[in-house]
Structure 1
Amino acid sequence: MSSKLVPANPSEVMVIRNVTPNIVTFSVPFMRFGKFPIGGRGTPVKLSSGSLAVFSPVALTPEARAKVQEMGGDLRYIVALDAEHHIFLSTWARAFPDAKLIGPAGLPEKRARMADDDDMIGREPFAVVFPSRTSKVEIDPEDFDRDFAYEFVDAHPNKELVFFYRPDRVLIEADLMFNLPANEQYSRAPGGSPTNMGMLARIFSSFQTTEGDAKGMKRFLWYVISRGDRKGFNESIQRINSWDFDTIIPCHGDTIQGNAKAVFEKVFAWHLQGHK
């Protein structure tokens, strides 16, 4: 059941932070497989029109709902950034019934299979589903598409959607790139720092950190994540790198501000340079 993955007291552990005047993050602790402290993060964004989009939403706590209202309250888009970040879609869709659900190919079918046995997963219809990276997809040409560029990295096993919010030069992504340790996401959690959670957690983090030369992450991305379709993966990375971002908001680990483009180019250097 998805409910087992949710903190018992999300209001007490959630960190709400304004990253830019138009972008807020809701950061929470989250343990992958019950062993690896990778954290979770939802990101509401205020568009130039005044409408709102939320990416990979986490628990809709009273504090999170109040923040959405503070941002104007007109939530029109609920985006699952990949096939794994969808647990709270139904919660948000019920609270904002006029919002469009957006996600990658395969997710509506996955949720339909889960719905009978999981009380957090509903059967809400998706307004936009990305079928492949080569397909032309429009979300809302008169609103959403004016502010965002996006890439469907369907060569990634989790079917990643990556969004670039042009007005604030911010890249929003889920599992394409981690930035562990998840310090902010665990800053209000009982037990404190995610770096004090055992040898397995430290080993996992060594493959999911952007620190130093990021050699562990480079190897993980090259030999594990992109091995099924490296050409397609490289093409997506090259398109994303063409965007002029200076901040990256990942779902797992700390937000990278100011030097995000340089960090991205370091982590994905082999995909950008044609590593053999």
Structure 2
Amino acid sequence: MSSKLVPSNPAEVMVIRKVTPNITIFSAPFWRFGRIKIGGRGTLVRMSSGALAVFSPTALTPEVKETVASLGEVKYIAALDFEHHMFVGPWHQEYPNAKVLGVEGLPEKREKQGNEKVPWSTIFTAQNKEKVRVDEEFDRDFDYEFVDGHGNKELVFCYKPDRTLIEGDLLFNLPATEQFSKMPSVDPNTGFLTRIFTYISHTRGEALAQRRFIWWGLSAGNRPSYNKSVEKINGWNFDRIVPCHGDVIESGGKGIFQKVMQWHLEAAKKQS
């Protein structure tokens, strides 16, 4: 993995933090296109059964392995979209009994890129997403939706016991302060491209720039389907949002989600 994208020393710069007694996050620096400081994050959830599920896994450092070992057995590994799958292979090699979840087209993309082969347990598609289930153990704790209308083909999860939404590129909350906090020489607010992307990817105020970015960009390929997915997610009971890019929204996440997705929620009402 190029050091222009992710650091060559992830163990030294990764922040491992418990968000709740059941949710641990692994936050690390990440540069989109090698230039834009957006950060990266994996999320580990200890389910009510005691099993572990990891979403958008990041580098599997010795400290990450120790954290996992102290919590239980990894039984589920989820690649959240076309972009958040880089470390799925190493995690499955380390935890070969885990079920791997992904989205349509991702196995083919990984094969073309020469990534490690993994045995996909559940692949979400636009056709099967209303009926496909993971298994009884997983489904007791999670709501989930495949946002096939998103440009990156997003899988979004809600861990019901802790009212926490876990997502990849559905919503950003830049700047990536926590993710660069162990790199004091790197300011996540500097750089021309970073400042531009932060402007369109923050959640402050009315968040109009992010609304427009999602409406005219990320959802433009299939907006009616995107609207339906957003409406479904809005029906879930969550307060916290753990995004892959930017800081965790510790509380008030439902209101922020509704603010950023306002136009899609309004459009969904007109569709129904």
Q: TM-score scaled by structure 2?
A: 0.95
Residues 9/190 of structure 1: CA separation in 2 closer, same or farther (3 Å cut): farther
Give 1:5 deviation, angstroms. Answer: 3.2
Q: Which residue of 2 aligns with 1:26?
A: 26
Q: Which residue of 1 aligns with 2:61?
A: 61
Structure 2 counterpart of 1:152, from 134, 146, 151: 146
Q: Which residue of 2 aligns with 1:137?
A: 132
Q: Which has the larger displacement, 75-84 or 5-14? A: 5-14
Aligned residues: 268
Are 2:207 and 1:214 equivalent residues in the alignment? yes
User: Structure 1, unaligned stretches of length 5 or more?
Assistant: 116-120
Give 1:3 deviation, angstroms. Answer: 7.2
Q: Which residue of 2 aligns with 1:99?
A: 98
- The root-mean-square deviation of aligned C-alpha atoms, in Å, is 1.5
Counterpart CA distance in 1 for 2:2 and 2:191 is: 25
Counterpart CA distance in 2 for 1:2 and 1:86 is: 15
Q: Which residue of 1 aligns with 2:239?
A: 246
- Does the 8 A contact of 2:5 with 2:33 survive in 1? no
Q: Tell me which amino acid in the other structure corresponds to 2:132.
A: V
1:154-176 deviation line (CA, Å, top 9, x unaligned): 00010000001000000000000
Secondary structure, in 3 states, of the residue corresponding to 1:102?
A: strand
Are 2:160 and 1:166 equivalent residues in the alignment? yes
Q: Tell me which amino acid in the other structure corresponds to 1:241.
A: N
Secondary structure, in 3 states, of the residue corresponding to 2:26?
A: strand
Secondary structure, in 3 states, of the residue corresponding to 2:65?
A: helix
Counterpart CA distance in 1 for 2:264 and 2:130 is: 22
- Does the 8 A contact of 1:2 with 1:87 survive in 2? no
Counterpart CA distance in 2 for 1:172 and 1:166 is: 11
Give 1:71 deviation, angstroms. Answer: 1.1
Q: Which residue of 2 aligns with 1:108?
A: 107
Q: Tell me which amino acid in the other structure corresponds to 1:83.
A: F
Counterpart CA distance in 1 for 2:193 and 2:43 is: 29
Counterpart CA distance in 1 for 2:49 and 2:240 is: 22
Counterpart CA distance in 1 for 2:237 and 2:158 is: 9
Are 2:17 and 1:6 equivalent residues in the alignment? no
Residues 135/244 of structure 1: CA separation in 2 closer, same or farther (3 Å cut): closer
User: Structure 2, unaligned stretches of length 5 or more?
Assistant: none
Structure 1 counterpart of 2:221, from 188, 208, 228: 228
- Does the 8 A contact of 1:56 with 1:85 survive in 2? yes
Give 1:135 deviation, angstroms. Answer: 3.6
Q: TM-score scaled by structure 1?
A: 0.94
Give 1:58 deviation, angstroms. Answer: 0.3
Q: Which runs of 4+ in 1 moved over 6 A?
A: none
Q: Which residue of 2 aligns with 1:192?
A: 186
1:227-269 deviation line (CA, Å, top 9, x unaligned): 1111110000000000110000000000001110111011111
